[in-house]
Amino acid sequence: MIGTASAGGLAEARTEEERTALLEAGRLLFAQPCRFFHAAQQLHGLPPAEGPEIAFCGRSNVGKSSLVNALTGHNALARVSRTPGRTRQLNFFDLGEGRLTLVDMPGYGYAQASKSVKADWQGLMFDFLRGRPTLRRVLLLLDARIETKANDRMAMRLLNDAAVAFQIVLTKADDVKPGQLARRREEAEALARSHTAGHPLVLATSADSGEGIPELRAEITSLALPAVRSGEG
């Protein structure tokens, strides 16, 4: 996954038939059993890097855990905290008995966390991102309701400098009017284009309404399954 972010997935679907096939592959993959299997607070506590992984990264309370739950159809799979900054570890979920691992990362940018705690969280996150050979892509979550924050831009720079491919996903899109959402997407697309490691396709999602969830499943599936990624399935 080191290097530039190729388009792939829905961005390369040339026909409606290819798009439909990719959406169906995503539905089938995420209909498979999904279970929590590991948590790590330090780099030496990570599980073996054995299969494809997708990581979810973003500010505290951007909706990472809610999005994981919506993707997998399990309301209580990833614990959703009402307290910003509560998640302080990497949480690993197995999808389809080894076909894909989802990684829910600690949120960054929580103002009330101490400097030492922030440093520990961010050190763990970015050590993991730089050193994980099975990591296919980082999904960088941005809240569709608010402007991109300085620490979001910092995260993009760090991912780019480390040659970690990332894709921007807007969350809570159901709380935004269509015109505002379109402008937010355009802004995010421009940010992605300004980074070599940024994926050009920005997806808008809502864990509550289900908006964008089938498309995100398809995008993730294109990374996890070689046949789908190459357009053969």
Domains of the chain in sequence order: 9-228 (3.40.50.300)
72: pLDDT strictly greater than 50 = yes
Using pLDDT thresholds of 50, 70 and 90, give the confidence band for residue 107.
confident
With 0-12 / 13-18 / 19 or more C-beta atoms within 10 angstroms meaning exposed / middle / buried, residue 210 is exposed
Kindly compute the dihedral angle of the four CA atoms of residues 212, 149, 200, 160, in this order, to the nearest 10 degrees: -130
Q: Provide mean pLDDT across the span 2-17.
A: 69
The neighbouring-strand residues paired with 138 are 55, 166
Question: What are the φ/ψ torsions at residue 221 (nearest 5 degrees)?
Answer: -60, -35
Q: What percent of the chain has pLDDT over 70?
A: 81
- Helices in 39-95 by DSSP H: which ranges? 64-72
Share of the chain above pLDDT 90, in %: 58
Check pLDDT > 90 for residue 43: no
Position 91: which residue type? N
- What band does 82 get if pLDDT is binned at 50, 70 and 90? very low
Asked if residue 201 lies in contact with residue 185, where contact means CB atoms within 8 angstroms, the answer is no
pLDDT in tens, 128-176: 887 789 999 999 999 999 999 998 998 999 899 888 999 999 999 999 9
pTM of the model: 0.87
User: What is the DSSP code string of 92-116?
Assistant: EEEETTTTEEEEEPPPB--TTS-HH
